[in-house]
Amino acid sequence: MPIEILMPALSPTMEEGTLAKWLVKEGDTVSSGDLLAEIETDKATMEFEAVDEGTIGKILVADGSEGVKVNTPIAVLLEDGESADDIGSTTRAPATEPGPQPQAPAAPAAAAAPPATAAPKSASGSRIFASPLARRIGADKGLDLTQITGSGPHGRIVKADVENATPGTTATIPGPQAAAPAPTGPSTGAIAAMYEGRDYREIALDGMRKIIAARLTEAKQTVPHFYLRREIKLDALLKFRSQLNKQLEARGVKLSVNDFIIKACALALQSVPAANAVWAGDKVLQFRHSDVAVAVAIEGGLFTPVLQDAEMKSLSALSTEMKDLATRARDRKLAPHEYQGGSFAISNLGMMGIDNFDAVINPPHGAILAVGAGKQRPIVGEDGELAVATMMSCTLSVDHRVIDGALGAELLQAIVDNLENPMVMLA
């Protein structure tokens, strides 16, 4: 039976993509793990691998096709002994630029993604729908394929389904994450009518901007934000940073204030472990390590690459890793695991001259720290006399479902203590 190769969801937020380039052609033989195509998602251009083995019988979506919906057939794979004549007329037509669709009583999810159930072996001995590679692995491991749930097209059992399965168990594949709700409001036509006769230019939304709009709308509508604000004295940190940079100059390392902020937040999450958590619908997930996301502005949007185990890394290691992630984020070369996850985020607009601002939490994170510019201001010293100090304003946006007021204040105090006493972060 010919196998439909479907447009994959290469990120949790992906609903459609651009098939940038085919890396195979009709008639080519492919194996599991071979590269099939380059696909542009809302975040990056990624390579798509084969999960089955066979021969490319027909390519349904051409190079450069935009707006290809997830789960749309993009090619047909033939097994041993099959030919193009076996493809038949049952292959679903690809949809790249869908127009308005009439409402139908049938559930759209059922049409977009067939149930992932394996066809059981009948008493008459009809075959189970499984790839040849999955059959071989299953035979080697002594698996009963009728007990395994297939995640391939039309419930087909593929390599991933049998690799981690053991005799007597059923392999299950988690369902796709629900897409963020689309922002609501007046229609484009209604808004345009308000500006009839005025000169303007329409700018179509790309995938990234659509996702940003949907997720931030979801965040402000569903996450109960509250805000905690502090002023942080930076003079000791700036002096310490200058000393370290002189010593690290020979190694080509130059620490930024942002590197210290990342380290301070990572250590604070260890000091206040109850705040190192995310909202998971009906429970809270509390983490052992500090995975800190940092907002990086790129053309047309932003990424939040995640620095995993940040509390265990040196300042120089964090600096090097952050520079690499930021560079690849701007080139849209990050892999999904590099910008997904984390429990806490940092958004720093201080280098752009912003004194203070309130950041929107990126679900499911429990909090985000908005960092303003460090500026010299008059302060009242410990002896009661006026003095000048470099002060930085920070605002901690907190998800009240995860972190209560006192706990949020404790977390922010720990961040302040680390930044005002930077040598403690090296202890």
Q: List, in sequence order, every residue forming a beta bridge with 398; answer none if it has no partner.
A: 226, 367
- Both tokens assigned to 100: 């308005």
Nearest-angstrom CA–CA distance, 389 and 378: 6
To the nearest 10 degrees (0 to 180), the angle between helices 315-330 and 257-271 is 110
**Dihedral angle of Cα 216, 222, 224, 229, to the nearest 10 degrees:** 0
* Residue in the block written with tokens 């990234």: 208
Rounded Cα–Cα distance for residues 86 and 66 (Å): 28
d(CA 403, CA 418): 20
Which residue among 154, 225, 289, 400 is the active-site one?
Answer: 400
Q: Which two tokens stand for residue 42?
A: 């809302």
What separation in angstroms does the CA of 195 have from each of 91, 189, 228? 46, 10, 40
Cβ contacts of residue 336 below 8 Å, gap of 6+? 10, 11, 12, 43, 46
Residue (of 109, 155, 123) closest to 4 by Cα position: 155
Q: With beta carbons less than 8 A apart as the criterion, state whether 258 and 235 touch.
A: no
How far apart, in whole angstroms, are the C-alpha atoms of residue 295 and residue 344?
11
Residues 35, 8: Cα–Cα separation, whole Å = 13
State the Cα angle at 373 between 372 and 377, rounded to 5°: 115
Which residues is 55 bridged to in the sheet? 29, 78
Q: Are 23 and 221 within 8 A, CB to CB?
A: no
Distance CA 377, CA 122 (A): 80
400 is catalytic: yes
Closest by Cα among 312, 314, 294, 311 to 303:
294
Which residue from 401, 396, 398, 400 is spatially nearest to 415, judged by alpha carbons?
396
Beta carbons within 8 Å of 406's beta carbon, 6+ residues apart: none
Catalytic residues: 400
